[in-house]
Amino acid sequence: MARRRFLQQLEVEAEEHDISKELFLGIMMLMLCLGIMILNVASPVWRVHQHDPAEGDVVVVYTQGGFGLSLDGIVIDKPLTEWDFRRHVNALIAEPKADLHLILKGGSHERAVRHAAYADSMLSTSTTGAKVRTAVYVHGW
């Protein structure tokens, strides 16, 4: 009788131990998932690349005075309007080897992000919506 009671008590303790271990592992998995979700929300959409403009690439510089095309990536050589920018991006669709570089030297971060999102949607995705290439590079964050 005492032996049977002792074995039943061992089985109960073993079950309690397994439950606590499962509970601990479950809580740890939830914390890990929460951490991954926070990192995904906090990180920017665009990957950070160290990629200098090549010959044939389009370079747009943003300054306090506005934005425009640049040959050297430092000064604006030809000011752009919103429509000019969209026209240049649409022209780049036909040139898969050319990339777009947005260099932020001042001015509106919101405008640069809006332009990057528009250009990325036009240049980097196929007709099915799949990401096919990295075509937009943002410098100067």
Full residue range of the structural domain in which residue 32 is found: 1-43
Residues 63 and 117 placed together within one structural domain of the fold: yes
Report the chain's mean pLDDT, rounded to a whole number.
79
112 CB neighbour count, 10 Å cutoff: 20
Q: Is residue 68 part of a domain?
A: yes
Higher local confidence (pLDDT), 30 or 128: 30
CA–CA distance, 139 with 104 (Å, rounded to integer) = 6
Distance CA 38, CA 115 (A): 26
How confident is the model at residue 94, as a pLDDT?
81
Same structural domain, 62 and 119: yes
State residue 106's pLDDT score: 82
- Which region, left, alpha or beta, applies to residue 50 given φ > 0 means left and ψ of -120 to 50 means alpha? beta
Average pLDDT over residues 12-41: 76
For residue 17, pLDDT over 70 is answered with no
Amino acid at 94: A
**Which helix (H) or strand (E) is 67 found in, with range?**
strand 66-69
My answer on whether 72 and 114 are in the same domain is yes
- Residue 53 within a domain: no
Q: Is the pLDDT of residue 133 over 70?
A: yes
Residues 77 and 29 in one domain: no
Q: Please tell me the predicted confidence (pLDDT) of residue 81.
A: 92
pLDDT in tens, 53-62: 878 888 999 9
Tell me if 96 is assigned to some domain.
yes
- 71 and 133 together in one domain: yes
- Segment 74-85, tens digit of pLDDT: 888 999 999 999
Q: Are residues 114 and 82 in the same domain?
A: yes
Residue 52 in any domain: the answer is no
Residue 110 and residue 67 share a domain = yes
Per residue, what are the HEC states of 102-133? Answer: EEECCCCHHHHHHHHHHHHHHHCECCCCCECC
Predicted TM-score (pTM) of the model is: 0.60
- Give the gyration radius of the chain's Cα atoms: 28
81/132 same-domain check:
yes
Q: Give the whole-angstrom CA distance, residue 52 versus residue 140.
A: 12
Residues 37 and 83 in one domain: no
Distance (Å) of CA 41 to CA 30, 35, 36, 77, 119: 17, 10, 9, 37, 22
* Residues 71, 117 share a domain: yes
**Number of separate domains in the chain:** 2
Question: Are residues 62 and 38 part of one domain?
Answer: no
Q: 63 and 118: one domain?
A: yes
